[in-house]
Amino acid sequence: MTYADLTFEQWNDRSDEAARRIAEEIAGECSLTVVGLRHTVYAGRSHRVALFDREGMRFALVPGGRPTLGYDAARFQPAADQADSYADSASEYGLPPLAEYVDAMTSPVRSVELPARLIAVEAFDPGDIPRAADDPPDALAGLATMGLRTATPDEWEWACGSGAATLFRWGDHSPHDGYPYDHRTGPHRERNLWGLVIGQDPYRHEVTTDRAVVCGGDGGSATCGGSGFFLGWLTLATAYRDEEFGRWLASDGGYAAAVLTRPVIELA
């Protein structure tokens, strides 16, 4: 079995000693330093997190497998406050029924094959990514000279939700009244099951390899526009997709270069 074949179950079934050995082997292959292994619990699920360092950039091992991504809005049972908030927004902006809107704003349910990857614990402003003086001026292109790239949409969803079938990585319901940006604590601010800081701030959305798909927020437009608390939280849904915004983004290369990017290291 190669490192890329490592699934969630296989990784967590290993003893701590065997997991440490795998982590050291991965570090040797990828010119990394093992920072540590620790057990974590998030939203009632447990996982062994392996952390690595490369020139000041922290990475976590994200296992692979054949996960189901996307979201089926027909399953969504909103809490009373979510339904009330959406009803107010729908009345003001002429929106369709809640389930129809959620379905339109999330990616479709699908099964994908994903190898194990090392994914950056935090996303970077492209200009802050460490690179050599002779790297290309485009910071995203400069990732390639470091043997890195940004995440695909599927990788991003898997990295964020870590297999959770709920609307958000922590469940289906918003943890607070008000907009997510207004709350500095809560499950949206915590590291997720893989140990990643991801999808926590609607103002700090991330590019993917598909220029028309950004993840982890909407640039704050729902919050700034006062669209309603539920719609503000929806931007942090694991499978959130704003296709209209994505099309505009894909046509504006200058803006895309300013959105955060999350480096990925492929495993052999």
Q: Any idea what DSSP says for residue 101?
A: H
pLDDT in tens, 168-201: 999 999 988 889 988 989 999 999 999 999 999 8
pLDDT in tens, 13-64: 999 999 999 999 999 999 999 999 999 999 999 999 999 999 899 999 999 9
| pLDDT score for 257 | 62
User: CB of 193 within 8 A of CB of 40?
Assistant: yes
CA gap 97, 47 in Å, rounded: 37
pLDDT band at 158 (very low <50, low <70, confident <90, very high): very high
Q: Which amino acid is at 197?
A: V
CA gap 77, 144 in Å, rounded: 43
**Dihedral of alpha carbons 123, 129, 247, 204, sign:** positive
Domain count, the chain: 1
| pLDDT score for 250 | 76
| pLDDT score for 225 | 75
Q: What is the mean pLDDT of the chain?
A: 91
Query: Which residues pair with residue 100 across a beta bridge?
Result: none
pLDDT in tens, 54-100: 989 999 999 999 999 999 999 999 999 999 999 999 999 999 999 99
Q: Any idea what DSSP says for residue 154?
A: H
Q: Which amino acid is at 66?
A: R
Q: How much is the average pLDDT of 113-125?
A: 95
Q: Which residues contact 23 (CB under 8 A, 6 or more apart)?
A: 34, 37, 50, 52, 61
How large is the C-alpha radius of gyration of the chain? 19
| Model pTM score | 0.93
| pLDDT score for 197 | 97
Phi–psi pair at 7, nearest 5 degrees: -95, 170
Q: Which residues contact 160 (CB under 8 A, 6 or more apart)?
A: 169, 192, 196, 198, 199, 215, 216, 238
Q: What is the span of the domain harbouring residue 35?
A: 3-266
pLDDT in tens, 21-33: 999 999 999 999 9
Taking the mean position of all CA atoms in its chain, how far away is CA 233?
15
